[in-house]
Amino acid sequence: MEFLALLATPLLGALVLGAFGGRRWAQDANVGFSAVTFLSACALTYRVVAHGNLSVAHEQFFIDAFNVFLVALTAFIGLTTSLFSRPYMRIEADHGRVSGGQLRLYHSMYQLFMATMLIALTTNNMGLMWVAMEAATLSTVLLVTLYRTPASLEAGWKYFILCGVGISQALFGTILMYFAAEKVLGSEGVSALLWTHLNAVKGELEPSVLGLAFVFLLVGYGTKVGLAPLHNWLPDAHAEGPTPISAVLSGLLLNVAMYAVVRCKVLVEGSLHSSLPGRMLMGFGLLSVVLAAFFLWRQRDVKRLFAYSSIEHMGIIAFAFGMGGPVANFAALLHMTVHSLTKSSIFFAVGHATQKAGSQVMDNIRGLITLSPTVGWGLMMGTLAILGTPPFGVFASEFLILTTAMKQQPWATPILLLALGVAFAAIFGRVQSMVFGDTTAKRLPHPPALIPVFAHLGLVLMLGFFIPPYLADWYRAAARLIGGE
């Protein structure tokens, strides 16, 4: 029941807003649909925590400790982003940057995007997961090009083609996996693509085929995670689309793609009995961290700056999952949570800051704090949080990842530390001059939505001080699941 509501609400929302999305009340309806989705996610989470794993519709959907926490996170950020998008899109409409038709498209696709994310997370069928991931790209392509500027069209095209090609590789990987599974499970019915069935027989799957499949799956889903060197689409898509879309791309899409990679890794590692998949993840992760840290220095656009920071953090998460083991997995899951929360709150603050300054170029944004202390402080605190300064949750997860790396992969620790240092210097310097100093900003016609910013940062702060016991249990259960024990 909760599960049905979880998937049906955003789909219904997409239909309703597709018809009436240009009206005045569409912004509120968007929030309403997201709120119902979030409530169903809460109910579902409660049920899974209380009664254990849940399997729906002839095992086509499956909810366990690992994906239920991502479902809750996704629905939560979906809700807060819709709260932020309410004043943001009103201001854009007042400035004449979007028309009624474009708003209709925006609202409808926003809900459709949420639905595809939730399907990708909850499905048990590896093929359906692929379909949902591709649908997620398609639903956001036209949102990246919403403003119809030359740069946004280029960004949309890059996003479409690179992710399309990438995801085709993942389809080939899925075919190979089905090929190996069919030998063991038989082709009658569809059980050979169900993750739970595959997980049960993973030791018998043919290692050479699964090894090959993993290469394709990692490259395919890795493109969507934004792992270097397949990250080219990410900064453009984040910078050129409307800011609420940057927030959900960074906070949700990257997480869901990472989830797909990890699900595949569990199967392949079980079949290969070696750490090869882990080593590949570590390699891609480390490359992303280093590359992103150095590219951060060359950015002039504030949204591109934080997009590169997302690549860096996805690299850290990939590295942690690659190391494996209960502690690293725990830290990676925690990092996924705090990164999503922090990065989306930064995008909320950045969104209002760019509207105030009338530009995304960092040199044109000055002295936010004089005109609007809340936006200024929100951006400053978000930046400090994402850079891993102590009281925030990002510090806790990065600390765990680094200490585990020291034990398990000592060679990688100095590289990680260096990259983190470089990123700190690059981002902090830029943000400081945007927040303090003389102002060029102007007032906005609608009051900005700052509750989501501080709600997210408050949660991140709390996770830095203390993780509630039920949440910690939950992370541990998920970490065990991924550890393949």
Partner 1 sequence: MIAMTWDLQVLNMLAALLLLLSFAMLSQRRIVALVDLLALQGALLCIATLLLAWRTGNNHLYVSAALTLGLKVIFLPWLLHRLIRRLGVYWDTEPLLNITGTMLVGVLVVIFAFGLAQPISALASTATRNSIGIAVAVILIAFLTMITRRKAMSQVVGFLSMENGLFFGAMSATYGMPMVVELGVALDVLVAMLVLGVFFFQIREQFDSLDLKNFETLKEDQ
Which residues of the chain form contacts with partner 1 (CB under 8 A)?
60, 125, 127-128, 130-131, 134-135, 138, 141-142, 145, 148-151, 153-158, 160-161, 164-165, 168, 171-172, 174-176, 178-179, 182-183, 187, 190, 192-193, 206, 208-209, 212, 236, 240, 295, 298-301, 304
Residue whose CB is less far from partner 1, 232 or 275 = 232
- Smallest gap, in angstroms, from Cβ of residue 189 to partner 1? 8
CB of 359 to partner 1, least distance (A): 14
Residue 272, helix vs strand vs coil: helix
Burial class (CB in 10 A: 0-12, 13-18, 19+), 322: buried
Q: Using the minimum distance from each CB to partner 1, give the nearer residue, 158 or 456.
A: 158
Closest to partner 1 by CB, 44 vs 167, is 167
User: Considering beta carbons, is residue 128 or 420 the nearer one to partner 1?
Assistant: 128
Could you tell me the smallest distance in angstroms from the CB atom of residue 49 to partner 1? Answer: 30
Looking at the Cβ atoms of 142 and 477, the one nearer to partner 1 is 142
Rounded to the nearest 5 percent, the helix, strand and coil shares of the chain are: 80, 0, 15
> In this structure, which amino acid lies at residue 119?
I
Q: Shortest approach of partner 1 to residue 176 CB, angstroms?
A: 7
Cβ 465 vs Cβ 393: under 8 Å: no
Nearer Cβ to partner 1, position 77 or 121? 121
What residues form DSSP beta bridges with 61? 56, 123
Min separation Cβ 28 and partner 1, Å: 27
Instruction: Give phi and psi for 39, each to the nearest 5.
Output: -60, -40
16/22 Cα distance (integer angstroms):
11
Give least dist CB 308 to partner 1, A: 10
Containing 372, the helix (H) or strand (E) segment is none
- Residue 159 CB, nearest approach to partner 1 (Å): 11
Contact 279, 412 (CB under 8 A): no
Taken in order 215, 195, 221, 283, is the CA torsion positive or negative? negative
- Closer of 57 and 472 to partner 1 (Cβ): 57
> H or E element: which one contains 55?
strand 54-56
Q: Cis peptide leading into 229, omega within 30 of 0?
A: yes
Contact criterion met (CB below 8 Å) for 321 and 262: yes
Dihedral of CA 176/182/183/185: which sign? positive
CA dist list (Å): 52 to 321, 374, 462: 24, 42, 27
- Phi then psi for residue 336, to 5 deg, are -60, -45
Nearer to partner 1, 306 or 475 (CB): 306
Q: How far is the CB of 13 from partner 1 (least distance, A)?
A: 18
Q: How far apart (Å, rounded) are the C-alpha atoms in residues 89 and 95?
A: 10
Judge whether 49 and 470 are in contact, CB under 8 Å: yes
Min dist. Cβ of residue 360 to partner 1 (A): 11
- Measured from the CB of residue 459, what is the shortest distance to partner 1 in angstroms? 33
Please report the DSSP string for 149-185 in residue order: -HHHHHHHHHHHHHHHHHHHHHHHHHHHHHHHHHHHH
CB-wise, 305 or 419, nearer to partner 1? 305
Are the beta carbons of 120 and 132 closer than 8 angstroms? Answer: yes
Q: How far is the CB of 232 from partner 1 (least distance, A)?
A: 8
State which residue, 58 or 442, has the beta carbon closest to partner 1. Answer: 58
Given the complex with partner 1, which of 76 and 160 has the nearer CB atom? 160
Cα gap 431→144, rounded to integer Å: 25
Amino acid symbol at 182: E
Cβ distance to partner 1 smaller for residue 2 or 182: 182
Least separation in angstroms between residue 393's CB and partner 1 is: 31
Residue 63 is classified by DSSP as: E
